[in-house]
Amino acid sequence: MITRSPALLQRHDEAEPLAPPPAWQAQLAGAIRDPAELCRRLGLDAAWRPGAEAGHALFEVRVPEAFLARMRPGDPTDPLLRQVLPLGEETLPAPGFVADPLEEAAHTPARGLIHKYAGRVLLIASPACAVNCRYCFRRHFPYGENAPSRAQWETSLDHLRRDPTIVEAILSGGDPLAASDRQLAWLVERLDAIPHLRRLRIHTRLPVVIPDRVDAALLDWLGKTRMQKVIVLHINHAQEIDDTVVDACARLKTAGATLLNQSVLLRGVNDSVDALAELSERLFEAGVLPYYLHVLDPVAGAAHFDVPDDQARELIAGLREVLPGFLVPRLVREIPGEGSKTPL
């Protein structure tokens, strides 16, 4: 489960002197964490509260103000709200939906490190997220067991140093950009010193839900690395991309980053050709290339978002009729034990 303890965000920075937090950290700390408050702020009928409370008990609400501002008040079908509002359906068991759908626990040779693909390793750079998405495939992940101290990070880094076949380090989480810039600069500096690493990939939603995260401190360490930089954003609906997100993307590109996007196909959010086509167009306007469209990982509590495979294929066929090929994302599923994403 995404951590409920904001203190873990500063786990590696205990010696950092007290100073006013950056604007993004203040926004992160001020995120809505009460389902009743979320319903009240959006003017939802009181009938939504019992389900929201039940879902929150399993996986807590977390919604930053900057993301909330893009939602339509009084509309329970709003595509952004649908992604973050707990529902009573989350408490219902569903066949095939499990706590660890990708079986990641079997691929953790060191604390905070997942190694399941050839040439790449995934580092859990932060146990926290800025927003808790209800379909998150790591909503049950044991982050408390995978949040290493700096000394423990050295064990994970030794795994990379010993294996010259590893050419790409992927920072993930949680959301890696929920860690402080001091910690990220420290980690990236050590990755930079591993000569066989060529690429640094960062999977993040923070520039979308709190665009102020892309500040001078972030751009400083990102711009200094010798590695090729790829930032994979997670945006599911065109409504998520306002001018502040476009500006954040532009700032990331000034640091030399290639911007890609991966989405999850979600019932009631983006399960139409029109929604997906508008998303691709809006992404490209923001300088981001559509990359993957994932079918839902079968994580317990998210079955109500599932879209059948046949419908998913029909949607991609529809996109090919209305978009140029470079704006059609690849439809994929992640299957435990496979060496890459599996095209559908």
CATH number where 118 lies: 3.20.20.70
Q: Quickly state the pLDDT bin for 143 (edges 50, 70, 90).
A: very low
Number of structural domains (the chain) is 2
**317 vs 154, residue with greater confidence:** 317
Residue range 80-92: mean pLDDT, rounded: 95
Say whether pLDDT at 308 is over 70: yes
Helices 309-322 and 273-285 pack at an angle, to 10 degrees, of 50
**Sequence-ordered list of residues with C-beta below 8 angstroms from that of 136, at least 6 positions apart, any chain:** 2, 59, 129, 299, 302
d(CA 343, CA 333): 6
Residue 299 lies in a domain: yes
Compute the distance between CA of residue 15 and CA of residue 268 in angstroms, rounded to an integer. Answer: 46
Full domain range(s) for residue 173: 104-343
* Conformation bin of residue 119: beta by default, left when phi > 0, alpha when psi is -120 to 50: left
Beta bridge partners of 200: 169, 229
Does position 113 have pLDDT exceeding 70, yes or no?
A: yes
Burial category of 50 from C-beta neighbours within 10 Å (exposed 0-12, middle 13-18, buried 19 and up) = exposed
Q: Which two tokens stand for residue 143?
A: 């982050």
Is the pLDDT at 85 greater than 70? The verdict is yes
- Nearest CA among 264, 214, 31 for reference residue 131: 31
Q: Which of 151-155, 217-221, 267-271 has the lowest mean pLDDT?
A: 151-155
Neighbours of 86 (CB within 10 A): 25
Predicted confidence band at 1 (pLDDT cuts at 50, 70, 90)? very low
- The answer to whether residue 247 scores a pLDDT higher than 70 is yes
Helix (H) / strand (E) containing 1: none
**Residue 259 lies inside a defined structural domain of this protein:** yes
Tell me how many degrees the CA angle 161-162-168 measures, rounded to the nearest 5: 55
The last residue of one of the domains, among 91, 118, 147, is 91
* Res 190: pLDDT: 97
Is the per-residue pLDDT at 269 higher than 60? Answer: yes
> How does strand 257-264 pair with strand 289-294?
parallel
From 67, 91, 115, give the residue that closes a domain: 91
Residues 204 and 337 in one domain: yes
pTM for the full predicted model: 0.90
Mean pLDDT highest for which of 101-105, 135-139, 143-147?
A: 135-139
* 169 & 273 share domain: yes
Give the model's pLDDT for residue 8: 39
Q: Is pLDDT of 287 > 50?
A: yes
- The pLDDT value recorded for residue 147 is 56
Domain final residue, candidates 91, 115, 143: 91
